[in-house]
Copies of this chain bind each other. A is one copy, B any other.
Amino acid sequence: MIFNEKANAIVGQSGGPTTAINATLAGVISAAVDSDKIEVIYGARNGVEGMLRDDIINLSEIFDCEEKEDKLKRLSATPAAALGSCRLKLPKTEDAENNEKYIKLFDFFKKNNIRYFFYIGGNDSMDTVSKLSSVCKYFSWDMNFVGVPKTIDNDLAVTDHTPGYGSAAKFIATVISEMLCDTAVYTVKAVTIVEIMGRDTGWLTAASALASANTGVAPDYIYLPERNFDYDEFFADIEKAFKKHPNVLIAVSEGLHFADGRLVGEGKQSGATDVFGHKYLEGTGKALEGAVKEHFGCKVRSVELNLPQRCAAHIASKTDIDESFGVGSAAVCASVSGESDCMMCIIRNDGEEYSVRYTPVSVSQVANKVKYVPNDFINEAGNGITEKAIDYMLPLVNGEAPYYTKNGLPEFFTLSF
């Protein structure tokens, strides 16, 4: 809906942090401050949690000033959610008009004259956008709800890729490239297993193949959760690699599973789930390390890349940071133009040179769907990725994003609530 009167906007961040999520926040703030439709842009602390407990910050006050550009750049170079995040899943929408949470939220929107709602997050956050859009009608308060994608996992539907993925992919490719130097120094037979984030999809693990872009040295094998894992084939693969060189490096997704669905890394915590019903995983790398040690009796090491995958701002992709900012700004433009119940998508333009555009897509096309690594990105043996996958990923890690240091150590931008 298009609102003729100036109104206020609110932005929240939700789900797991990424290196680029603050660049998207910066993009939203930038466009909101510049928009003649938006009076004040508020930030909610910890996503909808902050809206429920009235914990908000006036972002216009902070950014609508002479130092705006510099502040936005510094915010963009700061990893993780500057507004804080949450994992709150809104209740089912049936009987929403009598549900305490929805009542509180719309009281909050009305009280603060909020007509524009921006939610930066992954799949679960799009679920929030979808639910709020659908219950809006019960509260006689018109509002536009726009989701802005964010996830290192790159598993959202429709969008060509997700903001945050490029920087995570760049960190992964870079450190694997460095580890390939490291593990090559000895002449003793050794296997290094690198466990990479990705419960259901192998997008991040696939990025390990980029390590070879300029060095010609790639992981020997790459196993994704899009294929069933089999120990016999795995051992046969390693046997083959040993014939070429003594140092074998293998990249695996944390969500690797057998044909029967059992997780390779199912550890002590099997059965435990988080609030969204996702299984906790423990130790795919560790499980494989033990198996290889037993089978080959050689030196084995497992490396879990862990948290730095989603917050290594010091090696962020310029392409990713620029697009993350761009998609945030585009969300504001779409919203004031009347778009709602949608997620902003990044669409890759045709043509030789890489370029993108931003388009709103109905959130129903996105929410609760998973985009897997396509078949033609994975080699026939299921232990590596194809040139097509490399071509897709390469532009996403391009360029070095600004990064601020003093005395050789990082400087970050913080919002004080």
Contact = CB atoms under 8 A, between A and B. Distances in A.
A181 B398 contact: no
Interface in A174-188: 174-175, 177-179, 181-188
Interface in A302-327: 303-304, 306-308, 310-315, 317-319
Of the listed residues A170, A304, A317, A409, the one surrounded by the most CB atoms of chain B closer than 10 A to its CB is A409
Nearest to A411: B214
Interface string A397-412: 1111000011111111
Q: Which of A310, A314, A398, A414 has the most CB of B within 10 A?
A: A314
Interface stretch (A27-35, A79-87, A102-110): A79-87
Given A80-B181, A315-B314, A400-B405, A303 B303 contact: no
A85 B185 contact: yes
A308 B179 contact: yes
A85 B186 contact: yes
B306 A173 contact: no
Given A181-B412, A397-B409, A84 B214 contact: no
A62 interface: no
Residue among A17, A86, A304 with the highest chain B CB neighbour number at 10 A: A17
Contacts of A398: 407-408
Interface in A206-258: 210-211, 213-215
Contacts of A333: none
Contact of A173 (B175, B214, B409): B409
B407 A314 contact: no
A321 B93 CA distance: 59
A125 interface: no
Given A184-B80, A185-B85, A187-B46, A409 B178 contact: no
Contacts of A46: 185-187
A318 B408 contact: yes
A412 B84 contact: no
Interface centre among A49, A192, A214, A313 (most CB of B within 10 A): A214
Contacts of A183: 307
Interface string A283-318: 000000000000000000101101110111111011
A304 B187 CA distance: 25
Contact of A317 (B174, B211, B408): B408
B178 A406 contact: no
Contact of A178 (B301, B394, B410): B410
Contacts of A24: none
As for how many copies of this chain the complex holds, the number is 2
A405 B304 CA distance: 25
A151 interface: no
A329 interface: no
A123 interface: no
A410 B214 contact: yes
B314 A178 contact: yes
Nearest to A299: B274
Nearest to A315: B314
A412 B177 contact: yes
Given A182-B79, A304-B304, A307-B303, A411 B215 contact: yes
B406 A214 contact: yes
A90 to B, nearest CB: 17
A7 to B, nearest CB: 28
Contacts of A13: 185
18 contacts: A46-B185, A46-B186, A80-B178, A80-B185, A81-B185, A84-B184, A86-B186, A174-B314, A175-B314, A178-B311, A181-B412, A182-B307, A214-B405, A214-B409, A214-B410, A301-B307, A397-B409, A400-B405
Going nearest first, the 8 A-B pairs with the smallest beta carbon separation are: A80-B181, A85-B185, A182-B311, A398-B408, A178-B311, A80-B182, A213-B409, A214-B411
